[in-house]
Amino acid sequence: MGIRRGLWMNRDSDKARRDLAFFSMKPNDKKEFLKFVSSVKFPDGYASNIARCVNVDGGKFTGLKSHDCHVFMQRLLPVGIRHLLPEDVVKPIMLLSRFFSQLTAKTLRRTDMFQLRHDIVQVLCKFEMIFPPAFFTSMMHVMVHLPEEALLAGPVNYRWMYPIERLLGELKKSVRNRAKPEGSIIEAWVQYESLTFCGMYLKDVETVFNRPQRNNDGGMRNEKLSVFAQSARPFGDPGRGESFSRNDMEVAHWFVLNNCDEIMAYLDEHEQMMKREHPSHLVARKHRELFPQWFLDSVNKLKSSNSPTYSDELYNLAFGPIRAELFSGCNVNGVKFLGAARDDKLCTQNSGVHVPGGGESTDIDFYGKLTTVVQLLYKDRYQVIMFKCRWFDTNPNRAGSVKIDHGVLSVNINRTWYDDDPYILANMASQIVYLDDPKAGNGWKVVQKMDHRNVYDIPELDPSDNDVDNVADQRLESSMENDAETLRDTNVIQEPFQIEGVSSVEIPIQSITIDLGDLPRYDVAVGPSNADDAVIEEEEEEDWETESDDSDDNEMVSI
């Protein structure tokens, strides 16, 4: 074709050789990249252990699943290649990674999809300026149509192949007679449906309908004060050397008081009192020292006067914690957190903590690592779960604390702050992952926020907001209007026959109304379980060599 002369074969005496392409890695760079991938740890349940698929000496990956490739492209590739390839090659690859990250988000907006539809064309044009023509197969062209497909069909994670593959895997496991696989699957499915139907009426037996989730947090409590109503369940013994002094108790209790929404009026009143009685440079310290006792006296006055604003919870909070218990882990809102000492011994990473800035630090996000889970015990068995963390310095006004390169945020883990105030409420924390930053060097970690499966941030929606496509309030046609910003709000799931305003399903042919509101929900994606094998009668089976169920998904990728 007469192009890309740098990729042509060159004649050297009687031999033909080709120079290394500018978009290729050198052998030493390959090893460095593979070592970076081998050090990666993801949270529990997010992805498989990709580090075990790395062959550093062979310079390749083995046994990657299709989901691993998604995680690799969106999470690892942009971080690992920034310093190994030229800038002209790195930028398009990072844009492509960002394209898939936005495309596979749980919540999509029309404006974002219109922008992605425009951006992917530019990304592919940049690729055409870098890679040879043989690189551009039909699969590369498919990316042009993905934003339009999302506009028509909604978020990707509700229509991709992973739930189907999991169901097919369960069906494969039910084949007990490989000479007749279809019959085995049918028999296993009949057994499964029979047990599932009977399980609807077994109240004291654990079934698929009442089985607790993997990271059971105990559910929401019925307490009125927000600090007592956390969805958190601590577990595990604390590490050696962990202690909790009286000073730690006072610091933790002050944080609880200062972050309880129901007593903000008391905090404001006392702060104004301190401003009238003390100089400005002493207001914060005096407010922190004197408020707990002043608050207790105020609640006692409410109790003696039989005020309607008095409650036992308010008194127990003002009285303060009686004692504290330490743990090494905690399940919060369906997410598992582990202390750093315990987490470092595992192949997963569950100690990363992120808290968005609040108060005077609204523009600063806080990143740290969980060290200890603290449970403050109050009177009448009330409790508050707190995290003691090691916070990394993220002050943007200090040099050497944070770096942002190509949209990738890195923090210096050797510099900390808030050592005297390390506590947060457990429900404030969101989980993040720290990756080694090979470009910045030792002591720097790349921060990546995580979205867990089956965990959603439910938005507070205004029923009069016409921008949201809510099937309970609006017609289906409204989702296709140009001013509708949200595509099928993915965080509000409407189950069949449970849509507000529709209590029954009518069959006009026979004029029969079938009420389905009281039946338990049935998840067909679970498939036959191995636990049901005890019910299935033993059949004569032939000896077959064990075959890998996932052989079709295994891939070998060489760098």
Could you give the CA distance from residue 260 to residue 126 in angstroms, rounded to a whole number? 52
Q: Could you report the per-residue pLDDT of 304-344, keeping only the tens digit for each?
A: 999 999 999 999 999 999 999 999 999 998 899 999 999 99
Residue type, 268: D
Report the C-alpha gap between 453 and 166 in whole angstroms: 15
**Cβ atoms within 10 Å of 23's Cβ, excluding its own:** 18
The kind and range of the H/E element at 258 are helix 246-258
Do residues 447 and 409 touch, judged by C-beta distance below 8 A? yes
Q: Among 72-76, 254-258, 337-341, 487-491, whose mean pLDDT is lowest?
A: 487-491
d(C-alpha 460, C-alpha 197), whole Å? 36
Residues 139-153 as b or e (16 or more Cβ within 10 Å = b): eeeebeebbeebbee
pLDDT at residue 517, rounded to an integer: 47
pLDDT confidence of residue 107: 86
Fold of 226-249+311-449: SH3 type barrels. (2.30.30)
Distance CA 300, CA 151 (A): 59
Stated as kind and residue range, the H or E segment containing 148 is: helix 146-153
Q: 0.85 cut: is pTM over it?
A: no
Q: φ, ψ for residue 466 (rounded to 5)?
A: -80, -5
Smallest Cα–Cα separation from 441: which of 32, 87, 56, 51? 32
DSSP codes of every residue in 60-129 = EEEEE-HHHHHHIIIIIHHHHSTTTS-HHHHHHHHHHHHHHHHHT-SS-BHHHHHHHHHHHHHHHHHHHT
- Looking at residue 182, its pLDDT comes to 95
Query: Residues 343-368: what's their mean pLDDT?
Result: 86
> Does 497 have pLDDT greater than 70?
no
CB 377 within 8 A of CB 360: no
* DSSP label at residue 488: S
Q: Given the structure tokens 């956390």, which residue do they identify?
A: 230
503: helix, strand or coil = coil
Instruction: Name the range with the highest mean pLDDT among 157-171, 212-226, 261-275, 541-555.
Output: 261-275
Angle between helices 110-128 and 146-153 (to 10 degrees): 160
What is the C-alpha separation between 4 and 8, in angstroms, rounded? Answer: 7
Which residue carries 């595990």 as its tokens? 236
Q: Is the pLDDT of residue 538 over 60?
A: no
So what's the pLDDT on residue 458? Answer: 61
Q: Specify the higher pLDDT residue, 515 or 403.
A: 403
pLDDT at site 361: 57
DSSP string, 288-356: HHHHHHHHHHHHHHHHHTT-TT--HHHHHHHH--SEEEEESEEEETTEEEE-HHHHTTSSS---EEEE-
- Which pLDDT score, from 0 to 100, does residue 512 have? 40
Mean pLDDT of the chain: 81
From 50, 392, 385, select the one nearest 218 (Cα to Cα): 385
pLDDT of residue 550: 45
What lies within 8 Å, CB to CB, of 288 at 6+ separation is 254
Q: What is the DSSP letter of 401?
A: S
pLDDT in tens, 169-204: 999 999 999 999 999 999 999 999 998 898 888 878
Burial class (CB in 10 A: 0-12, 13-18, 19+), 285: exposed
pLDDT tier at 241 (50, 70, 90 boundaries)? low
Q: pLDDT value at position 541?
A: 41
The 10s digit of each residue's pLDDT in 54-94 is 999 888 999 898 889 999 999 999 999 999 999 999 999 99
Which of 318, 314, 313 has its CA nearest to residue 296? Answer: 318
SS3 readout for 181-235:
HHHHHHHHHHHHHHHHHHHCCCCCCCCCCCCCCCCCCCCCCCCCCHHHCCCEEEE
Would you list the domain boundaries of the chain? 21-160, 226-249+311-449
pLDDT above 60 for 43? yes
Virtual CA dihedral for 353, 358, 359, 364, nearest 10 degrees? Answer: 80
Contacts of 360 (CB under 8 A, 6+ apart): none
Task: Pick the closest to residue 496 from 464, 514, 518, 521 (CA basis).
Answer: 521
Taking the CB of residue 448, how many other CB atoms lie within 10 A of it? 19
Poorest-pLDDT segment among 43-47, 278-282, 467-471: 467-471
